Amino acid sequence: MDTKPMNTKPTAEEKNETLRLLMNHRSIRRYLPDRVAEEELEAIVRAGQMASTSSGVQAFSVIAVENPDTKRTLAELCGNQAYIEECPLFLVWCADMHRLEAAGQFAGGESVRAARNTEQFLIATVDAALAAQNAAVAAESLGLGIVYIGGVRNRIAEVGELLGLPELVYPVFGMCVGRPAQDPLTRPRLPLGAVLHRERYDDSRYDEKIAEYDAVYRRYMEERSQGQSAASWSEAMATKIPVPSRTHLLAYLESQGFRFE
């Protein structure tokens, strides 16, 4: 029986297919063996290209990996994440200042060098992230599923060598892509009031909103783990945030030509 009140206006999500798609995002870690068609791959990457980019620099590249042996090696380098090997398509999203330096030298000669400072590093990293999220939405609109893989930074130098990354390029994250072979729960997000600030930053309600989220998150974890875990979000963060992670990244990034100044 439909219990929706009469004369109630539909929500923005109910009226908008794009919003419904965005709100239904889930990380997919099991895939059917079906290959992602070339036209789908190209459409996904073109959608990524249409993301906003600082001053038109487009400081990112994406490497599509389908070779089983390469995926197997990447799975090992990323922390033995089996779904990298199992997915039909693995995309490695890279921040890329190398192409910009090549463009500058094409127009102005070999003496033109990229600034290589912190701002350039951030521009390239943000460009890669924006493009990847556009691509993720495009993939989901085609009935595909994705999961981001930060594990490419676990053994980042070996990943870079495997993929032949030149100076001024680094892998920001990977992305498994394929047709879903699972129907996972949607992970709940923080209450809007914990994220949306009005006019200026306000943390006065954080305790209230975190407690509210913890209750929702515990139920999610209990259902997801079939009763094996009921950890709250704040408990998970209390365990996670004190531990420095991937402390080798600075040395690798500097070896790739980035300077943090």
Q: Rounded to the nearest 5°, which phi and psi values hold at 49?
A: -65, -25
Domain ranges of the chain: 25-184, 185-255
Confidence of residue 18 (pLDDT cuts 50, 70, 90): very high
Confidence of residue 14 (pLDDT cuts 50, 70, 90): confident
206 burial (CB, 10 Å; 0-12 / 13-18 / 19+) is exposed
Other beta carbons within 10 angstroms of residue 27's beta carbon come to: 14
pLDDT (0 to 100) of residue 1: 44
Q: In CATH, what number does 25-184 get?
A: 3.40.109.10
Closest CA to 48 of 116, 146, 122: 146
Rounded Cα–Cα distance for residues 176 and 28 (Å): 8
Confidence of residue 7 (pLDDT cuts 50, 70, 90): low
Average pLDDT over residues 149-173: 98
pLDDT (0 to 100) of residue 102: 97
For 94-126, give one letter per residue: b (16+ CB within 10 A) or e: bbbbbbbbeeeeeeeeeeeebebeeebbebbbb
| CA triple 84-130-150, angle to 5 deg | 30
Average pLDDT over residues 25-49: 98
The residue written with tokens 């206006």 in the block is 9
pLDDT (0 to 100) of residue 6: 61
Cβ–Cβ < 8 Å for 89, 115: no
Average pLDDT over residues 64-82: 98
Q: Rounded to the nearest 5°, which phi and psi values hold at 141?
A: -65, -20
- Measured torsion, CA atoms of residues 51, 40, 26, 235, in degrees rounded to the nearest 10: -60
Output the six-digit token pair for 210.
Answer: 């975190």
Rounded Cα–Cα distance for residues 120 and 118 (Å): 5
pLDDT (0 to 100) of residue 95: 98
